[in-house]
Amino acid sequence: REFRDRVMKQGEKIFQEEYIYSNPKFMEHEDIIKMHILTSEAYFSQDNEVELYFDGKAKFEAFLESIANAKEYIYIEYYIMKSDGIGMKVINALTEKAKEGVEVKVLFDGMGGRKLKRGAFDEFKKAGGEVAVFFPPFVPFFTLRINYRNHRKLCVIDGKEAYVGGFNIGDEYLGLSKRFGYWRDTHIKIKGSAVGALQWQFYKDWRFAAHKDNAQCKLGLPKQETKGNAGIQIVSSGPDSKWPSVKDGYFKMINNARERIYIQSPYFIPDDSMLEALRVAGLSGLDVKVIIPCKPDHPFVYWAGMSYIGELLEAGVKFYTYENGFLHSKLFVMDDFVTSIGTANLDIRSFKLNFEVNAFIYDEEVTRKTIEQFHKDLEHCKEITMEKYEKRSNIVKLKESVSRLLSPIL
């Protein structure tokens, strides 16, 4: 209640033009801020520090250090958790904290956790840790339900720092997969008031998955002792949402852009509205660049995505395939001030069928760093030119056409 009251009071001040922004540039993007408050109850905080991770090794080193330093509680929510090398390292670290008396809750998706070994959490539970499964399978470790998955990946520690982004928990995210090789993703660590918003999201998901209306999670909003000044809204959406809030955020960024839109997504299956927005942005002369993987982890999804590229190439949108491993990053950059990082791909499944969470960040420094990384990634890409695209074989075109027919369920 405290958090929701805080959101509503802030919303009233913003809509009545009584809210004081610490940075005048926030005012320039107030229409996006207002939209997220209305559609996702997304509290706008402006005191945040943001650390970016583009590599699994750096992310997991920081993640494990944060776990080791926890004093009160650790709340973890991931789509995929595995009991492989890094998976057991994380589980063992959580077990040690539970033994110390730290409150530890772990939530993972029923489909995403299907590769966990039986008994992977036995010692953790004995130590006092709690585990909940989102939409668990009827038959243990086996499920055919591919819709309505919890695709969120977040962690909150002591109410002081939080993680959100594209990395799941498994060895392949460290680049140890023979199939994919190097794993390129984007994740962030937040310190500041935005941590409370991620904590609120975890509480709602935990209460649902644990089947406890009176589920207990710490939900305080401790005073943040940070020196940050990044504005952040935590925006979630899913099948239970009235509005496709993350998609609407992407759409609004495209429409508001005056210079550039940079996108990274492992899957590219836009609906008609997103397709039209990108087409208009390209025709308007904006610098619109999209990086997708060169190798598919889901072939039908890959071919369906390729079928959309031609009409956007004609409109001036530039597409690139990432050649240095597998690109799993979910990144949206608008001009030089707004960046979205989180779990939502640019596809219909993320927009309508999965539970997602993104951080919409309003900050020059964060945006500058993401643009720098985007340009570094381009050094490992091949451009899909119109000439190259038109030389596709008839077999490839057939694969694309068939896959596109299935795109609403891909």
User: 228, 198, 162, 249: which is closest to 22 by C-alpha?
Assistant: 228
Contact 200, 219 (CB under 8 A): yes
Task: Using CB atoms within 10 Å of the CB of residue 304, give its burial: 0 to 12 exposed, 13 to 18 middle, 19+ buried.
Answer: buried
Q: Is 84 tagged catalytic?
A: no
Given the residues 97, 153, 289, 399, select the one marked as catalytic: 153
Q: Is 126 tagged catalytic?
A: no
Rounded Cα distance, 48 and 52, in Å: 13
The CB-side HSE value for 1 (13 A sphere, CA atoms) comes to 0
Given the residues 105, 160, 330, 399, select the one marked as catalytic: 330
Given the residues 205, 328, 347, 377, select the one marked as catalytic: 328
Contact 166, 357 (CB under 8 A): no
Runs of H (alpha helix) within 194-332: 194-209, 245-256, 272-283, 299-307, 309-314
Q: Is 117 tagged catalytic?
A: no
Q: Is 330 tagged catalytic?
A: yes
CB atoms within 10 A of CB 276: 14
State whether residue 267 is helix, strand or coil. Answer: coil
Given the residues 47, 185, 335, 347, select the one marked as catalytic: 335
Q: Is 240 tagged catalytic?
A: no
Q: Is 335 tagged catalytic?
A: yes
CB atoms within 10 A of CB 31: 11
DSSP for 32-79 reads HHHHHHHHH---EEEEEEEEEEEEHHHHHHHHHHHHHT-SSEEEEEES
Q: Which two tokens stand for residue 310?
A: 């031609």
Given the residues 29, 82, 151, 399, select the one marked as catalytic: 151
Contact 270, 346 (CB under 8 A): yes
Q: Give me the active site residues, please.
A: 151, 153, 158, 328, 330, 335
